[in-house]
Amino acid sequence: MINSLSVSILKSITVSRRLNQIDGIRAKGIGDHISLPQLVVCGAQSAGKSSVLEGITGLPFPRQDGVCTKFATEIILRHTQNEISITASIIPHNGRPAATADELRNYRRRLSGYDELPETINDAACCMGIRGFVSSGDSAPAFSADVLRIEVVGDVGLHLTVVDLPGLVSVENEEHDAHDIKLVEDLVDSYLQSSRTIILAVVQATNDIATQPIIQRARHFDRAGERTVGIITKPDLINKGTEGRIALLTNNLDSTRLKHGFFLLKNPSPQQLEEGISLSERKRQEADFFRSPPWREHGSTCRESGLLGDHIERELPKVCAEVRLLLDKTKVQLQDLGQERSTVSEQRFFLSKLSMDFVGLIQAALDGTYQHIASDFFGYDQNGISRNRLRGQIHTLNSLFADYMRDKSQKRKMERVPIDDLFESSADSEEDREKEDKYDHSGDADEPFYMNEAEFDRWIKKIYMNTRGLELPGNYNNAFLTELFHEQSSRWPAIAKRHIHRVHEETSTFVTRALAHVVIEEHIRRDIHKILDRSLQSNLDTALDELRKLCDDERAQLITYNHYYTDNIQKARHDRANTVLEHALQSVSDDWGQDPRQQHAS
C-alpha cells in the first residue's frame, strides 16, 4: 500500500507523553525564550499545505485563494478532558515599532467554533496591515513577518504545535514583487534553520520533485536529513501512466531521496470543498483512492516514521538544559532585584539602600580611599588599569592642564631651538607621552604661534609703538604691559574651558559606571540617571560661569603685589646691562688688542 499521511504516531503513548511535557513548558511561556520542538508545514504556493494541516490537526482550515498564506500561523493543540476552547492572538515580529507591536499584542479573540477561523484570519491580516485587507492599497506589504497564534485547548486528542508558513513564490508577478519574495524566503528560512523544527516539505505531484525550492532549502538546513519528511499532494492530478514515478518516491527508490521518505496525501476536490466534506469522509475517500487501481498495483510496505518520537527524544535533553540555564539566569536576575517592594515603605527602603551604596562609591572616589569598599569596582582590569578611581583621574587631568598652561598656553612662543625639538624629550617616559597624547590640544582652533627672537622683538616693538602715551621717550606706560599680557593670555579661556569639559566628561562617565554597578534594573537606572544628569549639567554650568568671571578679571587693568615681579624686572635689567657692557668691552678689546680691564689693572 502506498504510504499515506497518518497521525497515529502522534497519539502513541511515548510520543504523547513527551508532547505533553513540551506543552507544559510552552504553556508557561518558555517557548517565547527558547526554541521548542515543533512541526512546520512549508512549500510552494498552492501546493496543498492547508490539506496537510487539516490532516494533522483535524482543524478545517480555509482553502480560499490568498487566505492563510500571508503570514505564519502557529496552531497549538492541548489535549484536556474539558470542552474545546479556541483563542487567537498575534505575536509581532521584532522589527515592529513599539506602538504597533503593543497594538498587535493586545489583539485577542475567542472563537466559538472552527467556522470562525476564516473571519479570524482576515481580522489578523487587517491588523497586520496586509495588502488587500487594508485601505492603503498597493503601498501595503503582501506578506507579514508577524505570527497568528491559534490555541485549541480541549478534547482534541493531541499535544502538538504546528506552524503553517506562507508559500514560497518563484517569480515576480503583479501581486508579489522582489521584496515580497525575499520576505517569505527569510521567514521560511528562520524556521527551517532551527534544529528543533521538523520540516514537513509539501510538494505537488504534478511538479518535478527534485527541483522544488522547499526540497532544496530543507537539504540546505538539514543536511543529515534527520528532521525532514516529504509530503506529496494532489496525486490524482498526474497524467495516467506516471503513477510509478510517484511510487518510487514514496518507497525512497527514486534518485530524489529523503532519509524519512515521502508520504502521499490526496487533497479534496474543489467540488468536495464547496459541498463541505467532513474530515472523516475525506479520510474514507482518501483510503479508497489509494486502494483503487492503479495505486493498488504500485503498493509498498506501509511504514510509520519514528521521526517525531526520535526527534523529540534527541532534542528534549537539550531543551531541559536550556531551561535550566534560563532558570539560573532568572534566579540571578531576581536576586539582583533585591527584596520585594510592593508597599511604599519597601520602596523607600529600596531607594535608601541604593542611595547609600551609591554615595559610598562616590565618597570613596572623592577621598581616594578604595581599600575597603567595592574591590570589584575600584580594582584593576587585566591591563593593570583602574578607570573608576576618579580622584586619581582628576589629579592626572589637573597635572596635565597645569603643565600645558605653563609650557604651551601663551599666544606667541619664542623659538630658541628647532621646532621639532620642542615636542621631543629623551627623558620623557612612554607613560608621560601617553598622558600628553590624552591631553592633546591639537584640535583647538588657536594654537601657539612660534617665532624666533628677532620676530618676537619686532612684535613687542610694534605693541610698544601702538601704546605710547604721555610718557617721555624711552619709557612706557601701563597700557603696554597690559596689552602684552592680554595678547599672550588670550588662549587661556579656551584651554581652561576644554579642561572643565574633560573633567565633566570624566565625572559623568564615572557616575554612569557607578550607577550601573549599584542599580541592576535598567528602567530605574535610566530614571535616576536623568536626575543625576541635571545635577551634573548644573555643576558644569556653574564651573563655566566661574571661568567667565575669572576671565573677565584677567581682562581688567593689571596689578600685582607679588615681590617676585619687581625682583625679576630688576634682575632682567641688570642682566641686560651686563650683556651690553660685555659687548662694549669686547668691542674695545677687538680695537686695541687688549682688554681695557687688564690695561686699567696694570
pLDDT digits (tens, 9 = 90+) for 169-195: 888 877 778 888 899 999 999 999 988
Cα separation, 314 vs 317, in Å, equals 7
Of 321, 342, 372, the last residue of a domain is: 321
40 and 184 part of one domain: yes
**Residue ending a domain, choose from 286, 321, 356:** 321
Predicted TM-score (pTM) of the model is: 0.58
Establish if 348 belongs to a structural domain: no
Confidence of residue 1 (pLDDT cuts 50, 70, 90): very low
Query: Are residues 413 and 310 both part of a single domain?
Result: no
Q: Is residue 587 part of a domain?
A: yes
Specify if 382 maps to a domain.
no
Domain presence at residue 534? yes
Whether residue 231 sits in one domain with residue 163: yes
| Range 532-536 average pLDDT | 93
Amino acid at 406: R
Q: Does 176 map to a domain?
A: yes
pLDDT at residue 541 in the model: 95
Higher pLDDT among residues 538 and 438, named by residue: 538
106 found inside a domain: no
* pLDDT surpasses 70 at 65: no
d(CA 244, CA 105): 50
- Per-residue pLDDT at 12: 56
Q: Tell me: the pLDDT tens digits for 542-594?
A: 999 999 999 988 888 888 888 888 888 889 889 888 988 888 888 877 777 66
The residue type of 433 is: R
Average pLDDT over residues 400-419: 80
Which cell numbers in the block locate residue 359?
554615595
Rounded to an integer, the average pLDDT of 296-319 is 66
**In the prediction, which pLDDT does 45 show?**
85
- Give, for 403, the enclosing helix (H) or strand (E): helix 390-408
306 vs 564: which has the higher pLDDT: 564
Percent of the chain with pLDDT over 70: 86
In this structure, is residue 355 part of a structural domain?
no
pLDDT at site 401:
93
The upper half-sphere exposure of residue 448, i.e. CA atoms within 13 Å in the direction of its Cβ, equals 21
The DSSP letter of residue 12 is S
- H-type alpha helices, 28-135: 49-57, 98-105, 117-128
- Quote the percentage of the chain above a pLDDT of 90: 20
Q: Does residue 466 surpass a pLDDT of 50?
A: yes
d(CA 60, CA 175): 27
- pLDDT tops 90 at residue 397: yes
Distances in Å between the alpha carbon of 198 and those of 184, 309, 400?
A: 19, 11, 65
Per-residue pLDDT, averaged over 78-98, amounts to 88
Number of domains in the chain: 3
If asked whether residues 171 and 275 sit together in one domain, one would say: yes
531 with 581, same domain? Answer: no
Provide the residue range defining the domain that includes 401: 390-559
pLDDT of residue 245: 81
- What is the structure's pLDDT at 298? 62
Residues 551, 576 within the same domain:
no
Residues 403 and 521 in one domain: yes
> In whole angstroms, what is the distance from residue 218 CA to residue 107 CA?
33
> Within 13 Å and on the Cβ side, how many CA atoms surround 441?
23
Q: Could you tell me if 541 and 595 lie in one domain?
A: no
Region 486-496: what's the mean pLDDT? 91
CA distance 358 to 85: 52
Residue 56 is assigned to a structural domain of this protein: no
Residue 88 pLDDT: 94
Q: Of the residues 289, 321, 353, which one is the last residue of a structural domain?
A: 321
- Span 437-464, pLDDT tens digits: 555 554 444 678 888 888 888 988 998 8
| Arithmetic mean of pLDDT over the chain | 81
Asked if the model's pLDDT at residue 420 lies above 80, the reply is no
pLDDT at 253: 78
Domain identity same for 546 and 576: no
Q: Are residues 430 and 402 in the same domain?
A: yes
Is pLDDT above 50 for 303?
no
Q: Which of 19-23, 45-49, 84-88 has the lowest mean pLDDT?
A: 19-23
Same domain, 40 and 160: yes
My answer on whether 584 and 521 are in the same domain is no
